[in-house]
Amino acid sequence: MKQLLRAGIICFSVLALGTFLLSLYKAGSLYTQYTGPAAAPLNYHFALYLPEPAAGAASRTSPPDENRDSFFSGMVLGAERAAEEVHAAISIHSIDPEKFELEMASYTGVDGVIVCPYLDDALARRQLDKLGSRQIPVVIVNHNIPNDQPWPFIGANNFDLGRRIGQALGQSDKGPIQLAMVYSEKSPGIYGERELVEMGIITALGDRLETPITGFRTNLNPLDAEELLNRIFRFSSPSAAGINTIVFTDPSDTMAAAQTLVDMNLVGHVQVIGFGDDPGIQENIRKGVISFTVAIDPERIGYEAVRSLHALRNTGYTPTAIDMGIKILNQGALQ
């Protein structure tokens, strides 16, 4: 009887030990399957400062809204992609002067800063000089700030932007052009250098411009362009008499204007030039609502800005300027 009991205990112990070893084996297999090499340590923390409309769109999990903030959201996506490649953390902040975020940047311990300046050049220059005094590398995107010792700049040449618009308009057969430019607080880079844009247009169009360029401005409201067109065409603004061509410099304004022209039955009577290559804008080009659009790759701006800042931090050197180039998209280009 004792031998039988002893044999039972031994058998139970062997089975328990086997079960325990099998559990260890399966746990080890699962750990090997679901864990890879340790993630590379983050080398730097970079901060990206953008105009306020981009603050709610800066997320990899939230794709850019095709009707709002798509340009700056694309810039964020490009910056995040480059940061991942160089093993850097990147945080997104508002450039809005009332929020004092850029004012406090030199106290945050960041290793480098990318800035898309707002409209007040003097304020931006003072804040950037403050970063320089603390030996924090700075790269500027989209809107350059003149300085005795210029900061590296990533973006498009706004004189060339205007020249390309003028060249594309000059190829049309619509006769003399009475042109209005609609600048926007949502696109401070173009608004801040509007003189360069208009010089480029005038250089390309020459005698095709029948009257001086008329300038308008929209605010941060994505539907402000709709109200502007109503003032121009429905209520016959004296400053807008005879306008037959309107150039927009922001994707949100472009979309709002396209829908408004359809509602007002002005398609074909007013030539619209847009900004951006969002799907909605491309669809309006195919329908003939928008004649063509000017496109600058925002993801590439964000990507090159982080790569330049990383090089500046590592080696102390990066190119003074990287021109992003400009694309003109019309019906032929979209076919």
Percent of the chain with pLDDT over 90: 38
Q: What is the pLDDT of residue 51?
A: 80
Min mean pLDDT across 14-18, 191-195, 219-223, 239-243 is at 14-18
| Position 335 confidence tier, pLDDT thresholds 50, 70, 90 | low
CA distance 331 to 16: 74
Backbone angles phi, psi at 150, to 5 degrees: -65, 145
Domain 44-155+298-324 has CATH 3.40.50.2300: yes
Q: What is the pLDDT of residue 40?
A: 58
Backbone angles phi, psi at 68, to 5 degrees: -155, 130
Higher pLDDT, 70 or 281: 281
Dig out the tokens for 143 from the structure.
């809107």
* Residues 44-61, mean pLDDT to the nearest whole number: 63
* Residues 258-286, mean pLDDT to the nearest whole number: 90
* Residues 281-305, mean pLDDT to the nearest whole number: 93
Sign of the CA dihedral with 250 first, then 66, 222, and 259 last: positive
Min mean pLDDT across 85-89, 121-125, 160-164 is at 121-125
Q: Running DSSP on this structure, what letter comes out for residue 41?
A: P
Min mean pLDDT across 36-45, 84-93, 170-179, 266-275 is at 36-45
* Residues 186-191, mean pLDDT to the nearest whole number: 84
158-295 and 44-155+298-324 share a CATH fold:
yes
Residue 135 has pLDDT above 70, yes or no: yes
Residue 157 has pLDDT above 50, yes or no: yes
Dig out the tokens for 21 from the structure.
């070893």
* Residues 183-206, mean pLDDT to the nearest whole number: 90
Taking the alpha carbons at both ends of the chain, their separation in whole angstroms is 92
CA distance 293 to 295: 6
- Between strands 138-141 and 179-184, the pairing is unpaired
* Residues 37-66, mean pLDDT to the nearest whole number: 59
| Position 236 confidence tier, pLDDT thresholds 50, 70, 90 | low
Higher pLDDT, 77 or 23: 77
Sign of the CA dihedral with 32 first, then 35, 36, and 42 last: negative
Helices 298-315, 70-85: crossing angle, 10 deg rounding: 40
Residue 294 has pLDDT above 90, yes or no: yes
Q: What is the pLDDT of residues 16-48, one digit of tens each?
A: 555 444 444 443 443 344 344 445 567 899 999
Sign of the CA dihedral with 231 first, then 234, 271, and 69 last: positive
Angle 273-57-66 from CA coordinates, rounded to 5°? 35
Residue 97 has pLDDT above 80, yes or no: no
Residue 64 has pLDDT above 80, yes or no: no
- What is the residue extent of each domain of the chain? 44-155+298-324, 158-295
Q: What is the pLDDT of residues 301-317, one digit of tens each?
A: 999 999 999 999 888 88
* Residues 165-183, mean pLDDT to the nearest whole number: 88
3-state class (DSSP) for residue 3: helix
Percent of the chain with pLDDT over 70: 80
Q: What is the pLDDT of residue 1?
A: 55
Domain 158-295 has CATH 1.10.1240.10: no
Residue 190 has pLDDT above 60, yes or no: yes
CA distance 80 to 62: 13
Q: What is the pLDDT of residue 79?
A: 95
Q: What is the pLDDT of residue 129?
A: 87
